[in-house]
Amino acid sequence: MEGVSSPTKQSWKESHKGHSSRVAMLSRPKPGESEVDLLRFQSQFLEAGAAPAVQLVKGSRRRGDAHPDQLPLQDRRDVVMLDNLPDLPPALLPAPAKRAKPSPGHALPHNEDPEERLNRHDQHITAVLSKIVERDTSSVPMTLPVPSGVAFPPVFHRSQERQVKTAASGKRSIFAQEIAARRVSENRVSSAEQVVPSLDAPEGAVPCETPSSRDRSNQLPGRSHGFHRPNLVTGKGLRSKAAEQEVQTIHEENVARLQAMDPEEILKEQQQLLAQLDPSLVAFLRSHSHAQEQTGTEATKEQCPERPSVPVTEEESIMSTCTREPRTGDKAEDRLEGELQPRAPALKLPMTPNKDWLHMDTVELEKLHWTQDLPPLRRQQTQERMQARFSLQGELLAPDADLPTHLGLHHHGEEAERAGYSLQELFHLTRSQVSQQRALALHVLSQIVGRAQAGEFGDRLVGSVLRLLLDAGFLFLLRFSLDDRVDSVIAAAVRALRTLLVAPGDEELLDSTFSWYHGASVFPLMPSQDDKEDEGEDEELTTEKGKTKTPAEGSRPPPDLARHDIIKGLLATNLLPRLRYVLEVTCPGPSVVLDILSVLIRLARHSLESAVRVLECPRLMETIVQEFLPTSWSPIGVGPTPSLYKVPCAAAMKLLRVLASAGRNIAARLLSSFDVRSRLCRFIAEAPHDLALPPEEAESLSTEAFRLWAVAASYGQGGDLYRELYPVLLRALQTLPTELSTRPLQPLAMQRMASLLTLLTQLTLAASNTHPEPTSGAAESCVSAIPPSVTWTHVSGLKPLVEPCLKQALQFLPRPDEWKALGPVPSACLLFLGAYYQAWSQQSSLCPEDWLQDMEHLLDEFLVPLLRLPPLGSLWDSLRACSPLCNPPSCASSPEALPSLVSLGCAGGCPPLSMAGSASPFPFLTALLSLANTLVQIHKGLCGQLAAVLATPGLQNYFLQCVAPAPAPQLTPFSAWALRHEYHLQYLVLSLSQKAALLQPEPATSTALHHAVALVLLSRLLPGSEYLAQELLLSCVFRLEFLPENASGGPEAADFSDGLSLGSSGDPQCRRGALLVQACQDLTSIRSCYLAHCSPARASLLTSQALYRGELLRVPSLLLPVPKGPLLPADWPFQPLIRLYHRASDTPSGLPAADTVGVTMRVLQWVLVLESWRPEVLWAVPPAARLARLMCVYLVDSELFRETPIQHLVAALLARLCRPQVLPSLKLDCPLPGLASFPDLYASFLDHFEAVSFGDHLFGALVLLPLQRRFSVTLRLALFGEHVGVLRALGLPLTQWFLSWLLAEKLPVPLECYTEPAEDSLALLQLYFRALVTGTLRARWCPVLYTVAVAHVNSFIFCQDPKSSDEVKAARRSMLQKVWLLADEGLRQHLLHYKLPNSSLPEGFELYSQLPRLRQQYLQTLPTEVLQNGGVKT
């Protein structure tokens, strides 16, 4: 705005016109003048109308505008205005466009071009750059850079003090000062080099001068250069400007003195000096001098770059370039040279370079060191660990292995004399720019991983090779290598990935057991331990929802996922699209294709989620089906195949089978979307020898086709193919007896026969599901409503064709070698017959007499002769040798097992006498028992003949070993797989035993043993066997038939045993025998209680039931749940009681009394039965854990322990725990299963006792039991320190710990367990003494603990152990003085005259009539005044 503006936006300018007159007329304000005078001066100035001396003008925004705006005359007045505040309100209309206004006094010329004016005043950077003119440097002298002995110029640090500073540096920056100093030094060098005539010397001139004879005379003998500068004295510590001059003066004096001495004198002085100096200092000086020589040599080379090289001839030997021919006339100089500076040995090359060779005109000796012989191999003299080195085949090389160099195992890294490559060197080699080296490194790493998994390294290495590789990033190294552009590197990476993921032997094991009893159902190969972030995830996916990743998993990086699960980490790196690209685009060779298919099979076995991701990877499955499962191909002969594309591949068919095993929806999609039906028809319609493929590949392809169809049939799918291929299947069945008669038996052919029989078994079961029961779920109802495509009429004619196969196979049983070669064929025949009779019996439209007579015919013709064969008895005898339960070490995991990568660990195959060995009896015996159970369930008249297998000695010995107290095998992936099949055999034996017990009037002698096996098996069954656990609870466990002790004098024997051990007497109705009789009568109620609290989840139970009962339309998947542990804990008999305790803790108002009393009484009854007649079942539950469970009875409810039946049962169980043979194993200090802390539980127990016990003796007995001297002092401190009020209600008498009907006058726990050994806790002793002195602990209130406290205090005050600390001695003396001065004469007498504990006496202990002499003498050591005061009171 115009007028007077803010000083920030205005500039002041003085006006010089009329300045003197204004000064004369108006004067400046003087001190003392007021504001009135100032206003008067202002009015006078305005009236005069003169121009002001200082004018406020508007600042120009242009740099070139120096003239201010002229103020209008009408506005020349004193105006004060606010900044940024307009006088008028803003207009609502848009303001007019601004127009350029010329500055006053600078009118624009009309004849000037505006463009020229802009160019003249343009100061933009483009205007400056466009006018750059190169400077003429033709007359400027050129200087070479200063030579340096280092590769890079030294870094300047501000902390370094400058020795040369310019005088007129002023305020120049450090960078400017450094540049100026550098120019000064360059000028000095250039001036010194002016003596050289020219760089381009004429021909024949020497570019660099050599030392003359005069210069040599100024050198020390034996030195290669003159002392033109000091070597050690540098003058860095001097701060004066004359530092260099001082150093040079010292150096010249030293040189002059050395020149005046003879060589002999120099050697003598040198020897004296070396004798006086420290050897380490001498070594340092020599190394420093050697380093300076090397620096000088390099500088000389840089200064003389054009120096011609010395020509090399064949006659001359290759020596070091710094070596000179020694003078022969001066021996002293030679000796001095050898002592001052040891000469490096000459290079001994295996060949003499010739100048005619390519690039050998200039010999660079430092680059020829590698051609020398290797240094001698160092022998290890100590036990120090050495770095592991491996050969190109992955073999671990011994540290002292001296191998020839032509093997390619020596290189120029560390320890060049040792052959082999370390892991670090191999990792370094994978980053090479040469593709062959990358491929070689990956190949060697793959070999190392394979040998490590096979256990070849054993204990020769410290730690795990696989863990070390994975921690170093080996997994992601392979993933990065897959993205390489070179095919050989990709092939090596795929092979290494397969070696890492696919453990050797795992697939062979799972394939060979596919035809076993439920052998197609397997556990997923995924880790069972979840990290904290995965606790909320549901790992056991059973629907297609598993294909979506959880948010927590999707947000985690691949390295974090791979740390817990390698498969998940790999899938997070887009591995599947890369493998699809390799198969689809690069078209690799057969080995790479097989490796990729093996990797995909391993990914599909991981989980349902992984299988879905493999299935849904874009174009992956389409590529595999089209390229490796074509319906037409050119004939392939025997020998290596150049390419697998457009050739049927058995591995591709196996991948489809493994994917189909993951879920019924995947199987349906494979059959419909990928046209797998036509491929099954193509590969099954022709016999293997007609497929125009190599024989082994044709057998494997046909086998996998049968297995894929069998998996689909296990879901009730693929039945329409059966009608199309019915003639083919019949023809294959008819040829089985002929193939079995050929010698020798081919393993692949046996697997194909077993797969065919397994397929027929599943199709027969599908025919039995004609009328499935309706289910609750709507989706399942729709599935069940689908009519089956296979009916009984379709499969009714198969049995006559299978029986000849079984008859032919059973003829090999007496010949063990041929029997082993049969593999699973006999088992598959028996399983088919069981499914056949099960389906036949469910046909309501047929006459039952037909199948009953056919069963009798089967029994008479096949089974009875089989049971009488002696070789069958040898199979029963070999159960113990092949059992994982009886041989826990066979299930131990290998040292290289990784928790993040699950494998069965079957490297090298299984031993013959093992679960999966060739001599294993489990598959055949399990199939035989399955058929026997099916026949007995349908035809009960056959039970007597088939039950004979239960009495075989081999089976009895095996069961005795199974129930013997022994630690269970460690749960590993292989043990879970093996134990599942072993539990199948045990369950089938128990099921047959239960059917026999119901039908036979007399109980068998092995009934009790079978009951014990059923109880132990119930606590061992793994996830997926929920139906078996439910059936055991319903049939064997709570059956009175399996408790023969009830009818054979068991209760009477219990009472007699208690009478001998505890001397019990009283009411007969309250004895243990009567309680056992009542428990046997209440078995039905007990079973209902446990079914309500121990039954598995309904969803899991229905899935398992559909699988084991053959309800194919309800089977969701053949993948079992992850085996994280057994279905029921080892203490499952206490499970309902523990649930009550947790419910009571979560419900402050309390539980209903009826439910609480009923459940508690049933649990205690069942536990009493087990404690009395099946003690081996509770062996896995320690006595301390049982005691903790009994204490929960009192913590569930405040009034529960007052119920008379509860009291009787608790007292009986407590008496069992207090037996002399059990009491030593009662250990409360060790961790207890299912209990976080026993001291915390005991503290809660004391609180409850103090609140609601009212002096209950049984309650008090449970309080006293953990207070024994051998248990932790924490329990006693909790009572005497925090719960002293308990002592008032703990009135249990010494002669009656339990109720009178259990114990009369004999203590179950001796009192000496509380009084011996002497207490050593000073804090507890002080609490004992305080409770006694204050009257909190009295004999009539708490006689047991009163005796204990008196015994320990007496032992403490009279202890004279010289090893006691001063604190203990002082406390002992103080306590003794206080005891001597006690006013309570009775307590004083007890504490001083205590002798021994005796529960028969009223006091509970014996007293000395007179103190022993030693104690009397010890009392005399008390102060006189104490003795006198005590005597007066006495």
Report the 10 Å Cβ neighbour count for 1428.
10
Quote the CA–CA distance of 774 and 795 in Å, as a whole number: 25
> What digits encode the pLDDT tens for the residues 871-894?
999 999 999 999 999 998 888 888
Please, are residues 904 and 898 in contact by the beta-carbon 8 Å criterion?
no
| pTM value surpassing 0.85 | no
Burial class (CB in 10 A: 0-12, 13-18, 19+), 744: exposed
Instruction: Give the residue, 55 or 503, on which the prediction is more confident.
Output: 503
What pLDDT is attached to residue 493? 97
What pLDDT is attached to residue 966? 84
pLDDT > 70? residue 187: no
Phi (first) and psi of residue 1213, to 5 degrees: -70, -35
3-state SS class at 79:
coil
Task: Average the pLDDT over 932-945 and give the result.
Answer: 93
What number of CA atoms fall less than 13 Å from residue 531's CA on the CB side?
A: 12
List the one residue out of 664, 525, 714 whose CA is nearest residue 601: 525
Percent of the chain scored above 90 by pLDDT? 46
What pLDDT is attached to residue 580? 96
What pLDDT is attached to residue 63? 43
Task: Average the pLDDT over 53-73 and give the result.
Answer: 49
What pLDDT is attached to residue 87? 52
The residue assigned the tokens 């078995």 is 1083
Report the 10 Å Cβ neighbour count for 453.
25
What pLDDT is attached to residue 3? 39
pLDDT > 70? residue 1240: yes
Highest mean pLDDT among 96-110, 458-472, 566-580: 566-580
Task: Average the pLDDT over 1326-1334 and give the result.
Answer: 93
What pLDDT is attached to residue 1428? 63
The least confident of 68-77, 344-353, 649-658, 1256-1265 is 68-77
pLDDT > 70? residue 930: yes
Task: Average the pLDDT over 159-180 and give the result.
Answer: 59
Q: Residue 577: pLDDT band by 50, 70, 90 thresholds?
A: very high
User: Would residue 823 be called left, alpha or beta, if left means φ above 0 and alpha means ψ between -120 and 50 degrees?
Assistant: left
List the one residue out of 714, 719, 716 whose CA is nearest residue 680: 719
Q: What's the N-to-C CA distance of the chain in angstroms?
A: 116
Instruction: Give the residue, 1257 or 215, on which the prediction is more confident.
Output: 1257
Q: 410-446 burial string, b = 16+ CB within 10 Å, else e?
A: beeeebeebbbbbbebbbebbeeeeeeebbbbbbbbb
- Helix 1238-1252 / helix 1257-1264 crossing angle, nearest 10 deg: 150
What pLDDT is attached to residue 114? 67
The least confident of 466-480, 613-627, 1027-1041, 1137-1151 is 1137-1151
What pLDDT is attached to residue 1413? 87
> What digits encode the pLDDT tens for the residues 1181-1231?
999 999 999 999 999 888 888 889 999 999 999 988 988 888 889 999 888
Instruction: Give the residue, 78 or 693, on which the prediction is more confident.
Output: 693
Tokens of 797: 């004619």
> What digits encode the pLDDT tens for the residues 196-232?
333 333 333 333 333 344 344 444 443 434 455 666 6
Percent of the chain scored above 70 by pLDDT? 75
> What digits encode the pLDDT tens for the residues 538-571?
334 344 444 445 555 657 889 999 999 999 999 9
Quote the CA–CA distance of 217 and 201 in Å, as a whole number: 28
Q: Containing H/E element for 55?
A: strand 54-58
pLDDT > 60? residue 16: no
Q: Containing H/E element for 12?
A: strand 10-14
The CA-CA-CA angle for residues 373, 374, 375, to 5°, reads 115
What pLDDT is attached to residue 289? 63
Instruction: Give the residue, 629 or 772, on which the prediction is more confident.
Output: 629
What pLDDT is attached to residue 1312? 87
Q: Residue 598: pLDDT band by 50, 70, 90 thresholds?
A: very high
List the one residue out of 368, 416, 360 whose CA is nearest residue 389: 416
What pLDDT is attached to residue 162? 47
Task: Average the pLDDT over 138-151 and give the result.
Answer: 67
pLDDT > 70? residue 158: no
pLDDT > 50? residue 1035: yes
What pLDDT is attached to residue 1300? 37
Task: Average the pLDDT over 1031-1057 and give the result.
Answer: 89
Q: What is the mean pLDDT of the chain?
A: 80
Task: Average the pLDDT over 108-123 and give the result.
Answer: 64
Sign of torsion, CA 866 871 877 878? negative
What pLDDT is attached to residue 267? 84
Please, are residues 328 and 228 in contact by the beta-carbon 8 Å criterion?
no
Longest alpha-carbon distance in the chain? 154
List the one residue out of 228, 209, 218, 362 whose CA is nearest residue 300: 209
Q: Residue 375: pLDDT band by 50, 70, 90 thresholds?
A: confident
Report the 10 Å Cβ neighbour count for 1004.
17
What pLDDT is attached to residue 370? 72
Task: Average the pLDDT over 291-297 and give the result.
Answer: 55
Please, are residues 1024 and 1104 in contact by the beta-carbon 8 Å criterion?
yes
Q: 249-283 burial string, b = 16+ CB within 10 Å, else e?
A: eebeeebeeeeeeebeebbeeeeeeeeeeeeeeee
pLDDT > 80? residue 1028: yes
What pLDDT is attached to residue 613? 96
pLDDT > 80? residue 1285: yes
Please, are residues 1025 and 983 in contact by the beta-carbon 8 Å criterion?
yes
Instruction: Give the residue, 620 or 1143, on which the prediction is more confident.
Output: 620
The least confident of 9-23, 584-598, 854-868, 1145-1159 is 9-23
Tokens of 270: 């040198």
What pLDDT is attached to residue 19? 43
> What digits encode the pLDDT tens for the residues 797-809?
999 999 999 999 9
> What digits encode the pLDDT tens for the residues 1387-1405?
989 999 999 988 788 888 8
Q: Which amino acid is at 999?
A: L
Task: Average the pLDDT over 580-588 and give the result.
Answer: 95
Task: Average the pLDDT over 330-348 and give the result.
Answer: 48
Task: Average the pLDDT over 1285-1305 and give the result.
Answer: 63
Task: Average the pLDDT over 1091-1110 and give the result.
Answer: 94
Tokens of 920: 């294993």
Task: Average the pLDDT over 646-672 and give the result.
Answer: 95
What pLDDT is attached to residue 109? 58
What string of DSSP letters covers 620-682? HHHHHHHHHS-S------SS--S--TTS--HHHHHHHHHHHHT-HHHHHHHHHHS-HHHHHHH
Instruction: Give the residue, 1088 or 5, on which the prediction is more confident.
Output: 1088
